Structure 1
């Protein structure tokens, strides 16, 4: 088994800390203590916290693109959001910390949305969905809005600061509901689509 490098351990620890708290609430001293190194050693790998966030974003982007390329279902996307939920919850704080990430986020969104459009077009060709191009554009935008902001919505609308697996199911249900008007009412065709598992079976 390959030994985990100190850099990788720092990044894994930071992802867990950022998820549990917020990016702004986690200090470099707390990171060093959780990793089991002194702050000076931490600075050897990352000069500032924004450098940690940038490195984590590279990992996050790679996982998103890999998931898109593998044609995984939408429920898997929500699992990925769960693993990297601090990026969705703390977006504004992260962009204030490192404004250069804004262009990287846009590029990533363009790539993922493009792959999503191809998948939905494939479902239309297979007769699993029925939608015009204009309807498809709206569906894609609404999917992106929900997938990007559902965690922040729970926080601002319902005062939920600690997102759990139960909330993950809630988020997926909101996404799945968007597809309902466009799904072809054929049980055989619906069963053949792995892209959009039923919320009760996911």
Structure 2
């Protein structure tokens, strides 16, 4: 692993652990045992580091959302998609803690994130269509399919913000299993469209992610 890669990895770890706003480039350099000048040789500033971390994140999510080739989608595939995406959210959790700030601070990040969102929603549309073809979901109109994909993406990308606000969870205290409770909410969106033959299997697996936050909110 070269120095540039070490800087990106160390920054990601520190941002996740302490919060990006609490970490300076000097902290990153000290953590790695290199001089600030060495860090600045690879990155002009912290904004550039954040952008490089985002590029890695989007490649990871794009990989997670690839549909299997040569076979129909299964219920297990659906949960694998969600597990993988929420694993990515956890690994890059600092990014979603303060996403609006990052997008406002870096125009290229704002542009690339918009394209990333469009690609991800398109991938979710394809997954939903694949589940229809597999007989897991009943066929729906193109408009409803796109709307359902959008709602899925909104739940995925905003679940951490919900935990920080309505659920009264400190971002530093959010656990990986708590974050994955968002999977339950995603499945709730699809439940009305499940074919009867798959209803018990899907909702049975869904119970593995039942969020305790509903009790905390008195719901």
Superposition TM-score tier, normalisation by shorter sequence: 0.7 to 0.9
Unmatched 5+ stretches in structure 2: 69-79, 210-219
Shift of 1:50: 0.5
- What SS does the corresponding residue of 2:31 show, helix, strand or coil? helix
> 1:49 maps to which residue?
46
1:174 has 2:210 as partner:
no
> 1:128 maps to which residue?
136
> 1:27 maps to which residue?
24
Provide closer, same or farther for how the CA distance between residues 197 and 18 of structure 1 changes in structure 2, counting only shifts above 3 A: farther
> 1:112 maps to which residue?
120
> 2:108 maps to which residue?
100
TM-score, normalising length: structure 2: 0.81
Unmatched 5+ stretches in structure 1: none
1:156 has 2:153 as partner:
no
Contact 1:124 1:130 in 2 (8 A): yes
Contact 1:128 1:183 in 2 (8 A): yes
1:143 has 2:141 as partner:
no
Report matched runs for 1:6-25 at 5 Å: 6-25=3-22
> 1:88 maps to which residue?
96
Q: Report the number of matched residues.
A: 195
Provide closer, same or farther for how the CA distance between residues 62 and 43 of structure 1 changes in structure 2, counting only shifts above 3 A: same
Shift of 1:52: 0.3
Shift of 1:178: 1.3
Contact 2:159 2:179 in 1 (8 A): no
Moved more, 100-109 or 161-170: 161-170
Shift of 1:104: 0.4
Q: Indicate the structure with greater helix content.
A: 2
1:136-179 alpha-carbon deviations (Å, 9 max, x no partner): 22211111111111111111223322221221232221112211
* Aligned counterparts of 2:146 and 2:127: Cα–Cα separation in 1: 13
* Aligned counterparts of 2:86 and 2:63: Cα–Cα separation in 1: 14
Contact 1:169 1:199 in 2 (8 A): no
1:75 has 2:83 as partner:
yes
Report matched runs for 1:190-201 at 5 Å: 198-201=205-208
* Aligned counterparts of 1:60 and 1:95: Cα–Cα separation in 2: 15
Moved more, 156-165 or 8-17: 156-165
Higher normalized contact order (CA 8 Å, seq sep 6+, divided by chain length): 1
* Aligned counterparts of 2:108 and 2:200: Cα–Cα separation in 1: 42
